[in-house]
Amino acid sequence: MLANSTIEATDGNAVRERLLSAAEDVLLRTHDVNASMEQFARAARMSRATAYRHFSNRDDLIIEVALRRAADYLGRFRVMIESRTSLEPKLEYGLTYLVLALPKDTAIRALLILSAQSQLDPRATQLALDTIHPVLMVARDRGELRGDLPIEDIVSWLIKELTELVMGEPWTADRLRRHLRDYIFPVLRPRHAPTPAAEEGTEERLRRIEDRLDALVDAVATLADRIGG
């Protein structure tokens, strides 16, 4: 009896995986966020009744596909940001990748559309938290991240901002980077950190450097005159 139950469980897992693969293929091939359970079942070569035995509704199936794909994207994000040393370059590099890549993925877009109707699946939130939490903790220890808010709240805010960027108008890389620098990073900086508006302007810094160079040239010329005299 136990052996038969194990075989049935294994067969059930195989059918479920076939349905997941078929649904993923349909979403990526048709770019249709409204693809139906009937389409998924037909692609998996099974009846709708069989499909519904493994997923109670179409939305649950789409969410499962999207979560798998989201895990892949976040894995790439994690690898990509390792080459950057501080928080803002890490986020600029990683978030630019995500915002430009995710809108092209129909499964991810379907997940975000469903989330707009209710709330983001807690498993998606946990994936993001697991990915970015260690990065933010290191940044906070280094004084690169504000310390007055829980990391979980910061991650929730970043997810909200990322979702709006992904679901909004198409971005170019340059315009997106400017948006991150102007609207996202200032919110994350420690309260004591100078804002760009408070920092010394580039032109002023260049002027002071030029003044120092002029003074150095004058000093060298004066020394040369003394030696020559």
Which percentage of the chain shows pLDDT scores above 90?
73
CATH number of the domain within which 31 lies: 1.10.10
Shared domain for 137 and 215, answered yes or no, is yes
Which percentage of the chain shows pLDDT scores above 70?
79
The per-residue pLDDT for range 183-200, each reduced to its tens digit, is 999 999 998 755 544 344
Burial 158-184 (b: 16+ CB within 10 A, else e): bbebbbebbeeeebeeeebeebbeeeb
The per-residue pLDDT for range 81-102, each reduced to its tens digit, is 999 999 999 999 999 999 999 9
Considering its fold, how many domains does the chain have in total? 2
Query: Domain range for residue 35?
Result: 1-56
Name the CA dihedral angle for 9, 71, 115, 90, rounded to a multiple of 10 degrees: 170
Shared domain for 73 and 175, answered yes or no, is yes
Distance CA 21, CA 77 (A): 23
Give residue 123's pLDDT band: very low, low, confident or very high (50, 70, 90): very high
Q: Which of 56-70, 163-177, 186-200 is least confident?
A: 186-200
Instruction: Show which of 29, 56, 83 is a domain's final residue.
Output: 56
CA distances from 11 to 7, 15, 21, 185, 226 (A): 6, 6, 15, 49, 95
Shared domain for 113 and 52, answered yes or no, is no
In a domain, 38, yes or no: yes
Query: Hey, what are 201's tokens?
Result: 């302007």
Distance CA 21, CA 6 (A): 23
Residue that wins the pLDDT comparison between 197 and 40:
40
Shared domain for 34 and 102, answered yes or no, is no
